[in-house]
Amino acid sequence: MFALIDCNNFYASCERMFRPELVGKPVVVLSNNDGCVIARSNEAKALGIPMGAPAFEYDKVFKTNQVHVFSANFALYGDMSQRVMDVLSDFSPDMEIYSIDEAFLKLQGFDNYNLQDYATKMRQKVMKWTGIPVCVGLAPTKALAKLANRIAKKYPDITQGVYVIDTDEKRIKALKWLKVEDIWGIGGQHAKKLNQHNIYTALDFVLADTQWVKTNLAIVGVRLQADLQGIQTLDLEEVQPKKSIATTRSFETNYTKLEDLQERITTFAVSCAEKLRKQHSCCQSLMVFVRTNRHLQQMPQYSRNIVLQLPFATNSSIELTKFALQALQMIFKNGYSYKKAGVIVQDFTPQNQAQMTIFENSNPRHIPLMQAMDKMNTLYGQQKVRLGIQDTKKVWKMKQEKLSPRYTTKLSDIITVNV
């Protein structure tokens, strides 16, 4: 059996954990730049605030309903996530952390356990040790565990946050209940196609002709179909080093000058380089993109990216910056208001197996230099040591008007208890 544990309204729950007076009140969390709604408490959902809603369009709704609005505080969410995962890891030796707020547990050799009770214990322990509410779905396959979790979330009063699919009868009933667009792995495009073929529920999907599914949804669809029949095709996945690393941002204001973008692109390249070094990889290609605000169609639009194949593999901030700025130079055009840009690195090789090339190589002296920079930045705070081209005085800031303290990761932000 697989268990899927999913935190309820995770970011909103993290904020509420340290503001208990907000329990039972509508809470939303906004994306970077306070742009879109990316998490909602149940009360906020009930007000009809959709996922991804632009915040400015809902200002009125927030005000009239006294919705508590937070800027995204990823330092807090990341740390809380780790605490939840630590608790869960006690419940099975086989665990896959699927996302910041979800984990699969494989329960092999648990035949003599009452899984309903076991899952209830998970919930209680996570709640007691971290303060985060979770729901648990149990089933013979991952796709069905996802479905079971959905039922647990949807009917908290009946399920008490735990639902087990362990008989064919329950499986059929669940499949009949689930809309095809809500199947894990079926998105909007596929759902549309399936609807046109008179497939509306997960049960319809399971019963659909496999050849047809293969033609229209490819092999992924076929696997999913089997998994939903209770035939295990998806297994826990090992943690893999990343295959691409991105740093991209929307800007609070528009940039028109090359120099402004150069500073941003440098910072993005440095950030990619730091992430690369963290996983001990070097990259051999790098992409830079810039774009104008696509929401303002009345403005002249421009969007371009360029991929550079690097002459050697590197994770040096200095070298990656040099290449990223070359790339920017090639795609930058005067006369546009830029709203978003980013750097994405790809084609990784392990750091310790860098291939020497005949003509040009990564500067070996950068290795100790980068180690020293990383060390200092860890010790004294991010970005304390920067490249000269990076912004030294004004320190580019994104809009974060409702940022909560970093309760669990910053000494000065720890809450005070008055006895």
Partner DNA sequence: TCTGGGGTCCTAGGACCC
Binding site residues, DNA, CB under 7 A: 31-33, 35-36, 38, 52, 54-56, 98-102, 146, 183-191, 218-220, 240, 242-250, 254, 275, 293, 295-296, 307, 339-340, 342, 344
Tell me the C-alpha distance between 231 and 250, whole Å.
Answer: 43
For DNA, the closer of residues 185 and 230 by Cβ is 185
For DNA, the closer of residues 61 and 100 by Cβ is 100
For DNA, the closer of residues 211 and 240 by Cβ is 240
Tell me the C-alpha distance between 224 and 219, whole Å.
Answer: 9
Q: How many CB atoms are located within 10 Å of the residue 347 CB?
A: 16
Least distance in angstroms from the C-beta of 218 to DNA: 4
For DNA, the closer of residues 121 and 304 by Cβ is 304
Spell 74-112 as b/e; 16+ CB within 10 A means b: ebbbebbbeebbebbeebbeebbbbebbbbbbbbeeeee
Structure tokens at 122: 């998970």
For DNA, the closer of residues 48 and 52 by Cβ is 52
Place of tokens 């295959």: 243
For DNA, the closer of residues 289 and 332 by Cβ is 289
Give the N- to C-terminal CA distance of the chain in Å, as an integer.
Answer: 47
Q: How many CB atoms are located within 10 Å of the residue 237 CB?
A: 11
For DNA, the closer of residues 118 and 213 by Cβ is 213
Tell me the C-alpha distance between 402 and 303, whole Å.
Answer: 31
Least distance in angstroms from the C-beta of 353 to DNA: 17
Place of tokens 């996302």: 99
Least distance in angstroms from the C-beta of 305 to DNA: 9
Structure tokens at 194: 């399936």
Residue 83, C-beta contacts closer than 8 angstroms, at least 6 positions apart: 129, 130, 132, 408
Q: Are 145 and 3 contacting, i.e. CB atoms less than 8 angstroms apart?
A: yes
For DNA, the closer of residues 100 and 236 by Cβ is 100
Q: Are 289 and 358 contacting, i.e. CB atoms less than 8 angstroms apart?
A: no
Least distance in angstroms from the C-beta of 340 to DNA: 6
Least distance in angstroms from the C-beta of 92 to DNA: 20
Least distance in angstroms from the C-beta of 350 to DNA: 15
Least distance in angstroms from the C-beta of 174 to DNA: 16
Secondary structure letter of residue 300 according to DSSP = P
Least distance in angstroms from the C-beta of 242 to DNA: 4
